Structure formats: C-alpha cells, structure tokens
Structure 1
Amino acid sequence: MSAGDHTGWQAALVSAALVGTSRRPPPPPPAGWPLPDTDRSEQRLLDSAALWQAAVRAGLTPSPDSPAAPAPPERHPLAPAEADQLLRLLLEQPPVPAVLVAPLLRQWLGACAEHRLVPDAARLPALLDRATRDRSVRAALARVDSARLRWLAAANPDWRLPEGPEEEDPAGATSEQDWARLPASARPAVLRRERAADPDHGRELVESSWGTDRARERAALLAVLAEQPHPGDADLLERALDDPSSTVRAAAVAALGRLPGSRRARRMTERLAALVTVHRARGLARLRSALPLVEVARPGEPDESGVRDGLDEPTSGSRTDHWLTQLTAGTPLSWWTEQLGVGPAEVWRAVTEPAVRQGLVEATGLQQDAGWATALWELVDRPPASWLALVPAEQRERHALQRLRADTARSAATAGRRRGTLAARQVGAEALLHVPGPWGEELSRTVLDLLARAEAGTGALPVEVLATRLHPAARAVLTDRVVARETATLVAHVLQYQSASDSIREAFR
C-alpha cells in the first residue's frame, strides 16, 4: 500500500473492527509508516488505530521519501495557564451551548493575538479541526502569530490558513465539479459562503446545475441570491421569470424586486408612470404649500407581461390596490424623488394614496435604502423592524427601545388571554434581531428585564443573539430576581456565556 492510500487504510481498519479480526485481519499500514510490533491481530488493530489517530492529530501522511521537518520554536510566549485551561474546556467540555462555543473561541483567539501570545501546542490540532468547520474561527486563528500553528497547518491541506488579511481563505472556491457532487440540502449554505467571497462565482455555480436541478432546488438557490442580489444576477433572474415552476418564478420576482436597476424594474416603472400625474403648485398656491399634488389612477387588469413580472391576484381585498402596491414596490425609489423634485419625506406627504404608500414601505425594505428608511421612520405608522438595520447606528437602539416599550404596553393591554396573542408578543423580539451588537447598557437592561418576565417576545430570541449582544453590566437587572419559568433556561445560558467571557478577559490581563 502506498503512502497515498492512507484513506483506504482507514476504511480497511474500520471494516476489520466491525467484522472482527478473526474474519478480516487488520491491513498493513501505508508505506513508510511504522509496523505494529506484535503477532496478535487484535493488538495490531488497536495499535494501528492509535497510529491513525496520531497521524490525524498531526495532519501528516508520512512517506519514506519526505520526512517531516521538525516544528520550529515559538517566537512569542505561551498564553497564561488560566487561559489555556479555558481553551481546553471550550474545545473538550464547553460550559455553554454548542452555538456559543464559536463566539467564545473567537474572543479567546482575539485576546491571544492582541497580547502577542500563542496557544499551547497540544491545543493546535483541535483548533485547526474547528477552523475547518467554522470560517469565523479560521479567520480568528489566522491572526495568531504562532510558528508551530503555521507549521502544523501546512502539513494538512484542510488546515491551511491565510497568510494575512489580504489573502483569500485557503479553503478555496467550490468548483463546478464539487458543486455537482453536493447534496441539494447542502448547496444553499455553500452558495452563501461563495457569494460572500465572490458573487459572480456563486451565480456561476447556480447556472452550472440549473438545467438538472429540480424546481424546489432552483427556488431555494434563487432565495439565497435574493438575500444579497448582485447586478450580475439580472440575466439569470430574467430567464427564471419564464421557468415552468411557479415557485421558481416567484423566487425570481422576489430577487428582482431588490434590484432597482433591473429590466423588470424599468418595466414596473413604465407601468406606474402611466398612472401617476404630478400637479406642481403655482402662484399663490405655491406659497401655501410647495408640495406637488400627486394623482394616481387605478391600474387595469395586468397583461401577460405584467403577470410574468409578478402582478398576481390578491388573496383578499381590492385587486387594484394590490396591483398598485406591487407596481410601487417594484419601481426604483429614485424615480419618485426625480419626478417630484423633493426628498423622501416630502414624497410621502405628497402621496396620499394608501396603496402607493404601502408600496413605498415595501420598496424601502426591498431596495435596502437607508435614506428612505431614515426619512420615513417617524412618518410611517409602525415601520418594519427590518428598517432598523438601515437607519444610522446612533438611532437604532433608540428606535428599538421605543418599539419594545410600545409592544410591551400593547401586549399588556391585551393580556386578557395569556398575555396577549403570540404575534403581539413576538414583534419586539423581531426588532432586536435587526440591531447589531454590542448593545448599549440601557437597551440591554430593558431586554433582560423583559426576558426575566418572559415578555415582548424576548424568549423567542436566539440564545447567540442575546449572549453576544447584551452589555455585561446589564446583568445587575437579574440580581435577586425570580425569572419566569418559560425563559429560565435561556437566561441561564446567557449568564453562562457572559461568565465564560468574563473569565477569558480576566485570564489575559
């Protein structure tokens, strides 16, 4: 067996272990590997398994022709013993739920890099294994200036780390051949990763299998494209408007709705422009109000082209209102400011048609327009929570607090039936998802107070959102508090995370 056959050797070892060494003797190790010094087949199997595990930890495939160079000495001191104990705990017996391990590892590695220290060599294989599964950990590990880490990572292609911030992630781009072999369930996650690195390459992967993918698989991939659409996606999305599957066509419409420069956007603009008449104030009327008067006619039944662009039948309510909202949502917001010659807030005041206003709200979210979201926040009745990610950072927490308090009051007012409806209780939580961390102390205290009372939907928040965004000082809110049974486990996990995070900071002081 050659040195390159180590993977087959591992499979043969597993096979011998499953059926028994009396029926299938353990295979000899690859060339260049040491032979077990025993005649007993059971002992050879166990020795070979130990040898395999040692090789996996070292990342090496020994060969008689290319002996490994010895590990170089470290240039920096080891991390303190207390920090090493915490790292070993995170890697072997995490004191927090699995989803919170990666944030703590990133914090530990960040502190290690900041203080120009290195992890103990015994932790390097486990760190590199973790880095192959989590790109955020890989990036944090790459910032640690450890000579032995680089030496060990070079021994295994799966472990290789970028040399610096400018180098692309060495995990490499997914080839079309690798993409074709991926199960359909794994492709959306891979596509997100590829799109983050190279939007064009991600789209090319989708196109490479488009002709053989099933309808639900095509729709799932278009949904990923729609998360962060790129102008280069427009041709593929235009073709998808003619897909035999209605699910795929709907996914294409959703993605194109977020591309104000697309051909569909131009067609929607032409349809809306034919319905809008702008009357500009003149003379004395202009002194009373500089705002133009906007008249909007009712749209007719959509033709075949309109149906292709997503104009469909409403599930309830007025058909013409529904189409008018869809036309407005599909039109670039810049068209309104150009036609009326005023800013977003003035456009809102000039347009009084409710269906058009609803379309403007939807367009602001679809087109991710921060200017419109900021201008309309105080004018729109209950702006969408997703707008929080668009408004200036200094306004997000203030708006989130207002939303939380309003929703809490609304929930209390409808508390006749088990603290109000589920929908009412979850709105506040939805708003918090759009406020990046770390949160300020006031917002954090409010959230923890509501969490302890299981109010405003805070119990529905993912534990990683709460744990990584809450201000550490806000824990004082929970002093001598009785936590609601519904959220007791969630609160405990948050406190476990913050305790571990505090320990990491202390260990590196």
Structure 2
Amino acid sequence: MTRTSAPVDAPVADAWEGLVTTALLGTDRRTPPGSRPGPEAPVALLDAAATETVRRRAGLRPARAAERPQAAPEDPRPPLPPAAARRLALLLADRPGPSGGGRRGAAPDLMELLPQWLAAANSHGFGPPPHTLPALLDAARGRTDLRPAVLEFAGPRALWLARLNQDWRFALRSARGGGAALPHVDDDERTQQLWQEGLFAERVALLSALRSREPASARELLATTWATERAEDRLMFLDSLRSGLGPDDEPFLEQALADRSRNVRATAAELLSALPGSALAARMAVRAEACVAVDHTQTAQATPTPTTPTTQSTQPTPVIAVEAPHECDPAMERDGVVAKAPAGRGERSWWFGQLIEAAPLGTWSRRLGGRTPREIVALPVADDWQGELHAAWCRAAVRQRDAEWSRALLGDPSAPEAGGPGAVSLAERAKLLGTLSAAERAEWVAGFIATHGLSEAFQLLGVCAVPWSGPLGRAVVDALNIARDAGSYPWSFSGVMGLAERCLDPSEAGRLDVLLAVPDEPENASPGAGGYWAEAFQRLVTTLRLRAAMAAELGAP
C-alpha cells in the first residue's frame, strides 16, 4: 500500500531549527509546516526532517584532510622482562572497589603497590610496553601522587599521546618544561631564547635544571630579568635557589629583601637564615641574643638521674630567662619578620619565635656559657617560655640541617615525654628526624615504638627509609602482635598495617606465619577482633611475598 504524506514547504534558512522546536513541543501543540493537525502530523514531521537532512548534507563541501600526526618518538630503553610486563598489566587493571567501612579481605591492594613497582622499574631503566601507555596515563590522571613516576617510566611517548588526547594534558603540565626539550648546558643562545620567550613552566624547568648543574649560571640568568618579572613568578623562581644554596647567593638574596612583594621578602629571608654565615643571620643572632640569657639568680633543683646516688645532694640548675621583643621595627620586617601575628597568637611570642628560628644555632653555645646543644635543651626555661623556645629551635635545626641540635631536641626515644605532648611535638620530631641519616632515623623510631607503641608512631614511620631496617620492622611487627594479643580495637591500626604492607622488608614474611591463626579473644576484646587481625596479617604476608616476586621479575636482588 502506498503511503501519502502531507506536502512539505520549500526549505527556509532556519527550517532545521523550526523542525527541532516542533519535535520538542510535540505535533499536538505545533503543526509541522505545510501539514494539518491530526494523526498524519508526526509522519509529516519525519518526512520534513528527512528532506531537510538530505538538503543540509548536499550543501556541505568536503573538508581538507587533516595532517597525519608525526610518528611517536623512539624509546631507546630496554623493554620490560615478560613477567614484569604481565605484572604491570595486573597492577593497572586493579581498581579499588566501593568502600565498605574499611578495607577488608586478605588480598593485596595492587594499586597501592603500583608506586613501588614504578620506582623499581625506573631504577632499572626499563621502558613500558607501548600498549600499556593509555592505562598508565589514566592511572596518573586519577592520582597526582603517581604522576612523576608514571611520566618518568612512560617516557617521551606519553607526551606524544598527551598532545593528542585532551584527557591527558596534565602530562604536558607535569613534565619538565611542559614537555619541551631543554637546551644543552653549553647552548647559551638557545638557553637565552627559552628564558626570554618560553612559557612559564618551561622557564621554571630551565632554571631548575640549570641550577642543579651550574648554580651560579642559574642565578645570573634569573638576575637578567628579575626586575621585570611578576611577583608570583619571582617567588617561584626564588624558590628554585634552594637547590645548591650557598654563600655566593647572598648578594642576590640581600637585594631580594627589598622586594615589593612581602612573600618574596619572606622567602629571601628564609634562604639567608639557612646560611649561618650570612649578614642576615648575624643580624638575627644579635636580636635573638638580646631575648635569651642564663639567669643565675633563678635556679631549679636538678632531677636526680638513675646513676646519681639518692644520698648525694644535687646542684641547682641555672634557668634560661626569656625577654621577648616589645616591637617589630622596620629593620626586623626587612629581614623577614612578619609583624602581624596570626589570630589567637600573642605578638611578642610571634616575633620572638621568628627571631630564634632565623638565628644560627651556633649562637647559643656562645651565649649560654659554652654548653652543648644537649645541655642547653636540658636547661629549664622560666615563665612558661619553654614550648615557644624549643619549637623555634626545632624549626632552626630543620632549616639549617643541624643533626647535633636535632638529636638534642629529639631526646631519648624511650623517655616518658617522647610519647606525650611535650615541648617538642610529634610533628616537629618527624621533621627533626629528616635531618638524620636513614639508619639513625630508623633506630630512633624503633626505640620510640618499643616504649610507646604504635598509637603515636604513624607520623614518625612516614619519614623512615623504605624498606624498613630489620630492627624497625621487628619493632612494628612486635607492637602489632602486642596489640592483637591485648584484644585492641583492630581498625585503629589499619593505617600502620597499610604502611607495613608497603614498607616492611619482604624478607620478614617468613617470620610472620605464626600470626596467621585466629587468636583467642580476651574477655574485653572488641567483637570480631581476632578474625580481623588474622585477616590483616594474612594480607600483610601475601603482600610481602608479592613484593618479593615483583622485585625478582624486574631482576632486583
């Protein structure tokens, strides 16, 4: 049967828009052009749309074919061993499931092992299988912490792909120089051109790379355009001078103390105070010495030590007296002291802390009677200034990378105050540990855990080198075992257990087998705690063995 349709009017310029509007409103409310209301109106609308579609397509002119993209660059690095390539595919295929009130199950969390796998692969200089590049870039897109390792492993082909896919543009921003090739160290002409004409990311990358190779050349390059840079750019460029900071940088930094930007002035002052021989450090030392002195008129009774006989009289101990500054004069502000105190903070204590942290730590032995850092830290401080003084010394020790002062401020890890809210907080202790060698760090944290347990140790464990040393690993496992036997609430240790999975030496897996059984629950234990502990230790052992297999697949000893 032949179907007849309503006549369609000749097309007009806005015919397509009219048909779309009619379809949205419905033919009951708006009749298509050239048709009558009724059951045939929808058919007329479809016929008109078909006719208009043909007309629109017939009027298109063929576009010029786009240029084919250039071939992907070669990656000269050796390919992954086959077993390691298969492992990478498994790690990338793993996706965290929906949260169910805490991580459960005995299976390892593969995505949490990906950063460690990438670090090992990069240390061996392997290149990725080309087909894994999209998955690598997708993983880095979702986790910013993965980006440096992913981009190093993915190599130049990742940047080539990023230029073709908007979703991966972050790779161009994250790569050194925004993905641009930096000039050779001897190519002065290209260096000058990139510094004068390059994008901001390219200029930052150029300055950082040059600073790592030739600190003086980087500083001289920065000086050529310093006066014309924007304040926020000057701040970023100035921050690059932290690498290779030395006495030769002092004249440039002294000039930056007069910068019109407060943030630039503060950064310049911080860098100068990290140079104990600088003129700013000397000025700060004079100001700080005026605030701190030994007061022999006030004494505190010394606390007997375990080696001191109780019958022996103890000598009175001198007291450190503090007189905080009464004003913040323009000279102090020029040297980086921020005059306005934060909300809830007293002005005088605010100024005092800034002076102490900027003064060279060598000042205090001379000022306080030739005492060693440990002896100085042990002195009582009058009028409740101890917390403020010790916190400022902590910041100075971290800034000046002074290991002797760090040891003195850390104290004995087994001391009762080490695990409580003493003059030096756990956050400050974590920063102080960063100034020590990896072995000394691990030894101190192991001693802390052996005495105080794991409840306050998470922040300290984060600064320890991976894999953990034998004594530190055993201290963590022993503390977890003690918590398990005591029937402690298991979920409160999930963070430490997760760290152990990533940081414990895989060789420790064998000695953990005895912890896999479900323990007898004490009378006051949390319900289900025994099963959770057994499950958590099973996951720990499985993860350690998986890490050992990953290392073997990459050819690591």
TM range (shorter): 0.5 to 0.7
Specify which of 340, 347, 372 is matched with residue 343 of structure 1. Answer: 372
Give the direction of change, closer, same or farther, for the CA distance of 1:305–1:26 in structure 2 (3 Å limit).
Answer: closer
CA deviations on 1:18-37 (whole Å, 9 max, x unpaired) are xxxx754798xxxxxxxxxx
User: What does residue range 237-252 of structure 1 map to in structure 2 within 5 Å?
Assistant: 237-252=253-268
The total of aligned residue pairs comes to 375
Q: Which residue of 1 aligns with 2:327?
A: 301
Q: Does the 8 A contact of 2:501 with 2:543 survive in 1?
A: no
Q: For residues 457 and 236 of structure 1, do their structure 2 counterparts lie closer, same or farther at Cα, with a shift above 3 Å needed? A: farther
1:429 is displaced (CA, Å) by 4.0
Structure 1's unaligned 5+ residue stretches are 1-21, 28-44, 60-77, 111-118, 139-168, 412-426
State whether residues 328 and 356 of structure 1, in contact with CA within 8 Å, keep that contact through their aligned partners in structure 2: yes
The answer to whether the aligner puts 1:319 opposite 2:384 as a matched pair is no
Shift of 1:370: 0.5
The alpha-carbon deviation at position 405 of structure 1 amounts to 7.3
Is 1:184 matched up with 2:200?
yes
The residue number in structure 1 matching 2:396 is 363
Q: Provide Cα deviations, 1:435-477, integer angstroms capped at 9, x if missing partner.
A: 2233124534666869x9463755997xxx974x431134565
1:261 equivalent in alignment to 2:283: no
- 2:435 corresponds in structure 1 to 390
Q: Residue in 2 aligned with 1:104?
A: 120
Aligned to 1:443: 472
Is the partner of 1:244 in helix, strand or coil? coil
Give the 3-state SS of the residue equivalent to 2:229 in structure 1.
coil
Alpha-carbon separation, structure 1, partners of 2:432 and 2:209 = 25
* Structure 2 CA distance for aligned equivalents of residues 384 and 267 of structure 1: 28
C-alpha separation between the residues in 2 aligned to 1:56 and 1:245?
A: 43
Q: Deviations over 1:168-202 (max 9, x none)?
A: x9964782432344433455555444433333333
State the structure with more CA Rg: 2
Call closer, same or farther: CA 1:234–1:433 in 2, change over 3 Å: farther
Rounded to whole Å, the distance in 1 between the matches of 2:447 and 2:535 is 26
Aligned to 1:472: 506
Q: Is the 8 A contact 2:505 2:544 kept in 1?
A: no
Amino acid at match of 1:198: E
Q: Give the conservation status (yes or no) of the 8 Å contact 1:102–1:137.
A: no
Structure 2 regions of 5+ residues with no counterpart?
1-61, 93-109, 134-147, 157-181, 302-312, 413-422, 484-489, 518-530
Question: Partners of 2:88 and 2:292 in 1: how far apart?
Answer: 62
Q: Which amino acid aligns with 2:220?
A: E
Please tell me whether residue 212 in structure 1 is matched to residue 238 in structure 2.
no
Question: 1:191 & 1:250 partners in 2: Cα distance?
Answer: 21
How far did residue 484 of structure 1 move?
12
Cα 1:366/1:289, change in 2 over 3 Å:
farther
For residue 58 of structure 1, report the CA deviation from its aligned partner. Answer: 8.4
Matching of residues 190-209 of structure 1 within 5 Å? 191-209=207-225
Give CA-to-partner distance per residue, 1:31-74, whole Å, 9 cap, x none.
Answer: xxxxxxxxxxxxxx7xxx7xx64x94389xxxxxxxxxxxxxxx
User: CA deviation digits over 1:474-497, x for unaligned, max 9?
Assistant: 4565967859999x9999998765
Kindly tell me: are residues 191 and 444 of structure 1, through their superposed partners in 2, closer, same or farther at Cα, counting changes over 3 Å? farther
Q: Retained in 2: the 8 A contact 1:374–1:392?
A: no
- SS of residue matched to 2:245: coil
CA distance in 1, matches of 2:504, 2:279: 43
- Tell me, in whole angstroms, the C-alpha distance in 1 between the residues paired with 2:351 and 2:340: 8
Separation (CA, whole Å) in 1 of partners of 2:236 and 2:256:
13
Distance in 1 separating the partners of 2:447 and 2:397:
21
Distance in 2, Cα, partners of 1:483 & 1:356: 43
2:74 aligned with 1:57, yes or no? yes
The Cα shift of 1:431 comes to 2.3
- SS for the counterpart of 1:295 is strand
Mapped to 2, the partners of 1:93 and 1:186 lie a distance apart of 35
- In structure 2, give the amino acid aligned to 1:57: E
Kindly provide the amino acid, as one letter, of the partner of residue 327 in structure 1: L
Distance (whole Å) between structure 1 residues aligned to residue 496 and residue 205 of structure 2: 27
For residue 321 of structure 2, give the secondary structure of its aligned residue in structure 1.
strand
Give the conservation status (yes or no) of the 8 Å contact 2:118–2:150: no
- TM-score, with length taken from structure 1: 0.58
Whether the 8 Å contact between 1:454 and 1:484 is mirrored in structure 2 is no
8 A Cα contact 1:329 1:363, kept in partner: yes
> Which residue is equivalent to 1:430?
459
Among residues 340, 347, 362, which one is paired with 1:334 in the alignment?
362
Cα distance in 2 for residues equivalent to 1:133 and 1:171? 21
Name the aligned partner's letter for residue 329 of structure 1: E
Shift of 1:328: 1.3
1:344 Cα deviation after fit = 0.4
Corresponding residue for 1:160? Answer: none
* CA distance, structure 1, for counterparts of residue 542 and residue 184 of structure 2: 36
The letter of the residue matching 1:330 is: A
Q: Give yes or no for contact 1:241–1:308 (8 Å, CA) kept in 2.
A: yes
Deviates more, 1:215-224 or 1:494-503: 494-503
Give the distance between the partners of 1:404 and 1:356, measured in 2 at CA: 27
Q: d(CA) in 2 for partners of 1:57 and 1:86?
A: 23
Percent identity over paired residues: 24
Question: Aligned partners of 1:206, 1:501: CA distance in 2, in Å?
Answer: 43
What residue is the counterpart of 1:84 in the other structure? 81
**Whole-angstrom CA distance in 2 between matches of 1:497 and 1:177:** 47
Q: Tell me which residue corresponds to 2:411.
A: 378
Q: What SS does structure 1 have at the residue aligned with 2:411?
A: coil
Match of 2:549 among 461, 480, 499: 499
What SS does structure 1 have at the residue aligned with 2:194? helix
